[in-house]
Amino acid sequence: MSNKIGLIVEREFSERVRKKSFIVSTLLTPLFMIAMMVLPSVLMLKGNSDTKNVVVIDNSPNQFVGKQLTSGKTVSFNLLPEGEALGKARMQYKSEYGILVIGSDILDNPQNLQLILNDASSMSVEENIQSQIQGILRTERLKRYDLDNMDQILADANVRVNSLQTLKNNEQEDDSGMERTSTTASWAMGLILGMLLYFILIVYGQQVLQSVIDEKQTRVLDVMVTSCTPFELMMGKILGIAVVAALQIVIWAVLVIGASAFIMPLIAGQADMEAMTAAATAAASGSEFTGVLAKFTSVSYLAGLFLELLLYIVGGFLFYASMYAAIGSAVDTPQDAAQFNGIIMMPVIVAIMVMMSVMNDPNSTLVFWCSMIPFTSPIVMMARIPFGIPVWQVAVSLVVLYISFVLMTWIAARIFRVGVFMHGKKPTWKDLGAWIKMK
C-alpha cells in the first residue's frame, strides 16, 4: 500500500470512528443482539400469561366432551349443567375469558364449535381447546369399533418422536469424534451471520457512495486528485471504511460472546438458567441438547465462525464498495445514483432469498452455486457454514470472491478516474461502458 493510500485510509477511519453515531451503534447493536438471545428464554420462564377461564356449554350426548376437558396453566374450564341457555350465560359470565359452545352433533360434525370471547383472542388458548377436543373425538370414534383394552391400545399407539439425533460422519469406523449437530440451530446461526453480513454490506457500502458524492459536490475530490491518482483515492476511501466495518465487527463479537458467557447467567439468575436447561432438555434428548449447546458455546467453534465471517465481510465489502465508489464518482446527487443503486442491490436481495432456503437443503444446486458466485457468495456461504460444509468449498468461494474483487476494482477504477471529473451530467449505462473502455 502506497503512503498516499495509507493517508487516505487514516483520514476515512479517524473521521468515522470519532462520530457519536459510530460509538452509539457499536454499543447498542450488541446490546440488542444480547437482548434477542436472552429475552425469549426469560419470557418463556417469566412471561407466561394468566390462566384464561372458559365457560363450557356442552350439548353433546351426556356432555362427553366437556367432562373430558382438562384444565391447565393456559386455560381453565367450567362446565355448566345440561340445558344451560347461551343467552343467559352470555350475560352471567361477562367477566370470564369466553364461552365455549359444543354442538350436539360434534362427534359427526367436528366443526360445530363456537368460542364466544369477552376479551382479546389468544392463539395458545384456541390451540389448547382444539387439540383437546380433537383427541377426545378421536378416542370416541375409535370406541365405535368395540375393541377390547381400548385405553391400553390408545396409550400404546400414542407415540411421539420429539427429536432426531443428528451426527456428523467423521469417516471413521468407530464413533469417536462424531459431533452432534442440529439443523434448527445451524439454520438460526447461519441466518444471524448472513443478516449481519447483509447489514454491513448495505450500511457501509452506502457510506462509500455518500462519501464520494459529498466530496464530489464540494469539489474536494478535484483538489485531492492533484496530489494522488484516482485509483489511490478510490482505494483509500474503500479500505478506510472497510477498516471501520471490521473494527465494529470485532467489538461486537467480543461484547456478544463475552456477555453470553458471563452476563446472561447473572441476568437470568442461576435458578432460571437451570430451568431453561431443564426445559430444553425435556424438548430434546439430554445428550443431543448437551452436545449441540457445547458446540455453539465453544470458544474455538465461535472463533472459527468469526474468522470466516471476517473474511467474507472484508471480501464482500471490498467487492461491493468498489461498485459503490464507481457509481458515486459518476453522479452528482444521491437521486442520480438511485438507478444504479437498484441494480447493485438486486444480487444482495437474491442472496437473502436464497439464504432463507438453506435450511431445506444447504447443498442444493442453487444454494451451492449462489455460495460460489461473488455477487451472492458472502451472504449465502455464511448461512451454509454452520451446517458443516466441506472446507474446500469455503476455500474456493473465498478465492473466487477475492479474485473478483480485484477485477471489480479495476473496472471501478476506470469509471472513477473519469467520473470524478464529470459534473452536471447524469450518466447512463452506455456512458459507464464507454468510460471503462477509454484509454
Q: What is the pLDDT of residues 265-280, one digit of tens each?
A: 554 454 444 444 444 4
Whole-angstrom CA distances from 372 to 26, 195, 328, 346, 388 are 31, 18, 27, 17, 16
Q: Which pLDDT score, from 0 to 100, does residue 77 have?
A: 92
Which SS3 state, helix, strand or coil, does residue 98 take?
strand
403 or 331: which leads in pLDDT: 403
Residue 87 predicted with pLDDT over 60? yes
Tell me, yes or no, whether 258 and 320 share the same domain: yes
* Encoded amino acid at 266, one letter: L
Tell me, yes or no, whether 291 and 428 share the same domain: yes
The pLDDT of 132-160, averaged and rounded, is 77
Tell me, yes or no, whether 282 and 301 share the same domain: yes
Name the DSSP class of 428: -
Q: Which pLDDT score, from 0 to 100, does residue 122 have?
A: 75
Please check whether residue 111 lies inside any domain of the structure.
yes
Tell me, yes or no, whether 185 and 297 share the same domain: yes
How much is the CA Rg of the chain, to the nearest whole Å?
Answer: 30
Please check whether residue 169 lies inside any domain of the structure.
no
Tally of domains within the chain:
2
Separation between Cα atoms, residue 138 and residue 107, nearest integer Å: 9
Name the DSSP class of 51: P
Does the reported pTM lie above 0.75?
Answer: no
Please check whether residue 164 lies inside any domain of the structure.
no
> At a CB cut-off of 8 Å and minimum separation 6, what does 187 contact?
358, 359, 383, 386, 387
Whole-angstrom CA distances from 21 to 15, 17, 33, 237 are 12, 9, 18, 19
* Domain ranges, residue 341: 3-44+181-437
Please check whether residue 174 lies inside any domain of the structure.
no
Q: Which pLDDT score, from 0 to 100, does residue 373 have?
A: 92
Tell me, yes or no, whether 196 and 74 share the same domain: no
8 A C-beta contact, residue 101 and residue 113: yes
In the listed set 150, 172, 193, which residue is the last one of a domain according to the structure?
150
Please check whether residue 171 lies inside any domain of the structure.
no
415 closest CA partner among 400, 433, 403, 397: 433
Separation between Cα atoms, residue 55 and residue 99, nearest integer Å: 5
The pLDDT of 108-114, averaged and rounded, is 87
The residue count for the chain: 439
The grid coordinates of residue 140 equal: 370416541
In the listed set 133, 150, 167, which residue is the last one of a domain according to the structure?
150
Separation between Cα atoms, residue 24 and residue 6, nearest integer Å: 27
* Encoded amino acid at 129, one letter: I
Tell me, yes or no, whether 241 and 369 share the same domain: yes
Please check whether residue 173 lies inside any domain of the structure.
no
Tell me, yes or no, whether 263 and 132 share the same domain: no
Separation between Cα atoms, residue 212 and residue 227, nearest integer Å: 17
Tell me, yes or no, whether 119 and 230 share the same domain: no
- CATH number at 85 reads 3.40.190.10
Helix-helix angle 183-217:299-330, to 10 degrees: 30
Please check whether residue 421 lies inside any domain of the structure.
yes
Tell me, yes or no, whether 295 and 206 share the same domain: yes
Please check whether residue 91 lies inside any domain of the structure.
yes
8 A C-beta contact, residue 251 and residue 310: no
Tell me, yes or no, whether 101 and 188 share the same domain: no
Helix-helix angle 377-384:299-330, to 10 degrees: 170
Tell me, yes or no, whether 33 and 131 share the same domain: no
Tell me, yes or no, whether 31 and 122 share the same domain: no
pLDDT confidence tier of residue 287, bands split at 50, 70 and 90: very low
